Amino acid sequence: MSLVELIAAGPAEHVGAKAANLGILARAGFPVPPGWVVPVGAQATPEWFADLPEGRYAVRSSGQHEDLAGLSFAGQYKTLLNVGKDKLAEAVRECQASADAGPAAAYLAQHGMERGSMAVIVQQMVDAEFAGVAFTLNPLTGADTELVVEYTEGLGEALVSGQVEPLRASCDWAEPTALAMPGVSGEIAQELAGECARAQRLFGFPLDIEFAVDGHLWILQARPITRVTYTGLDDIWTTADFKDGGVSAQACKQYMWSLYEYIWEHSLADFLVSSRLIEPERLRKLGRMFYGRPYWNLSVVKEVMSRVPGYCERDFDEEFGIQVAYDGPGTKTRISPASLLRLVPAALAQRKFLAERERDAGKLAERIRSLVAARLEELPTLVDRASLERGFRLVTKENYLLSESTYFWQIFLNTIHQSLFKDSLGKAVDLQTYLRLLGGLDDVSHLRPFQDLWELSRKLRGEGREPVLEDVAAHIERYGYHSDKELDVGYPNYWEQPDVVLGKLKQLCALDSAHAPDVGQAAQRQAYREALASVGKPRLVRKVERVRKLLWWREEFRDLSTMMYDVIRRYTVALANIYAAEGIIARDDIWHLPVAELWRFGEDRDVDRLRAIGDRNRRYYEAYRNYVSENEIGPRFQAQRVAAAADLSGIGCSVGQVTGTARVIDGLEDMGRLREGDILVTRFTDTGWTEKFAMVAAVVTEYGGMLCHAAIVSREYGVPCVVAVKGATAAIADGQVITVDGGTGQVIR
Least confidently predicted of 370-374, 581-585, 741-745: 741-745
Long-range contacts of 26-34 (CB under 8 A, 24+ apart): 28/202, 30/195, 30/198, 30/199, 30/219, 31/195, 31/216, 31/217, 31/218, 31/219, 32/6, 32/7, 32/218, 32/219, 32/220, 33/123, 33/124, 33/125, 33/126, 33/218, 33/220, 34/6, 34/123, 34/124
The whole-number pLDDT of residue 161 equals 57
**pLDDT of 112 strictly over 70:** no
How does residue 111 score in pLDDT terms, banded at 50, 70 and 90? Answer: very low
Query: In sequence order, what are the beta bridge partners of 123?
Result: 35, 58
Name, of 323-337, 365-379, 421-435, the range with top average pLDDT.
Answer: 365-379
Q: Tell me the mean pLDDT in the region 513-528.
A: 88
**pLDDT of 641 strictly over 50:** no
Q: Tell me the mean pLDDT in the region 696-716.
A: 87
Name, of 179-193, 642-656, 675-689, the range with top average pLDDT.
Answer: 179-193
Between these two residues, 70 and 230, which has the higher pLDDT value?
Answer: 230
Quick: pLDDT tens for 660-691.
Answer: 999 999 877 788 888 889 999 998 887 777 88
The neighbour count for residue 503, using CB atoms within 10 Å, is 12
Between these two residues, 242 and 82, which has the higher pLDDT value?
Answer: 82
What's the whole-number average pLDDT of the chain?
89
Least confidently predicted of 390-399, 466-475, 608-617: 466-475
**pLDDT of 406 strictly over 50:** yes
Write the DSSP symbol of residue 397.
I
How does residue 250 score in pLDDT terms, banded at 50, 70 and 90? Answer: confident
The whole-number pLDDT of residue 72 equals 47
Cα within 13 Å of Cα(153), Cβ side? 2
- Pairwise CA distance, residues 114 & 108, whole Å: 6
Cα within 13 Å of Cα(679), Cβ side? 31
Q: Tell me the mean pLDDT in the region 258-286.
A: 93
Between these two residues, 617 and 178, which has the higher pLDDT value?
Answer: 617
Least confidently predicted of 123-127, 383-387, 646-650: 646-650
**pLDDT of 598 strictly over 80:** yes
- Which amino acid, 8? A
The whole-number pLDDT of residue 465 equals 57
Longest dimension (CA), the chain: 90
Q: Tell me the mean pLDDT in the region 13-17.
A: 92
Backbone angles phi, psi at 450, to 5 degrees: -65, -45
**pLDDT of 138 strictly over 90:** yes
- Percent of the chain with pLDDT strictly greater than 90: 61
- Pairwise CA distance, residues 221 & 72, whole Å: 12
- Which amino acid, 535? V
Strand order in the sheet with 287-290: 287-290, 293-297, 237-238, 632-633
- Pairwise CA distance, residues 143 & 182, whole Å: 23
Quick: pLDDT tens for 252-271.
Answer: 999 999 999 999 999 999 99
- Pairwise CA distance, residues 49 & 707, whole Å: 62
Query: In sequence order, what are the beta bridge partners of 657?
Result: 741
The whole-number pLDDT of residue 639 equals 58
Backbone angles phi, psi at 649, to 5 degrees: -145, 155
Between these two residues, 592 and 341, which has the higher pLDDT value?
Answer: 592
Write down the H helix ranges in 379-496: 385-393, 400-425, 431-438, 448-460, 469-479
How does residue 156 score in pLDDT terms, banded at 50, 70 and 90? Answer: low
Measured CA to CA in angstroms, residue 190 lies from 131, 175, 195, 223, 731 at distances of 15, 13, 9, 21, 41
Backbone angles phi, psi at 642, to 5 degrees: -90, 120
Give the list of residues 6+ apart from residue 12 with CB closer than 8 angstroms, or none.
19, 20, 64
**pLDDT of 644 strictly over 60:** no
The whole-number pLDDT of residue 735 equals 94
**pLDDT of 101 strictly over 90:** no
Q: Is the pTM of this model over 0.85?
A: yes
How does residue 218 score in pLDDT terms, banded at 50, 70 and 90? Answer: very high
The whole-number pLDDT of residue 401 equals 97
Quick: pLDDT tens for 58-73.
Answer: 999 998 766 555 544 5
- Pairwise CA distance, residues 400 & 421, whole Å: 31
How does residue 75 score in pLDDT terms, banded at 50, 70 and 90? Answer: low
Q: Tell me the mean pLDDT in the region 512-518.
A: 88
The answer to whether the CB of 269 falls within 8 A of the CB of 283 is: yes
The residue among 598, 722, 557 whose CA lies nearest residue 258 is 598
Residues 15-50: b if buried by 16+ CB within 10 A, e if exposed: bbbbbbbbbbbbeeebebbebbbbbbebebeeebbe
- Pairwise CA distance, residues 88 & 46, whole Å: 7
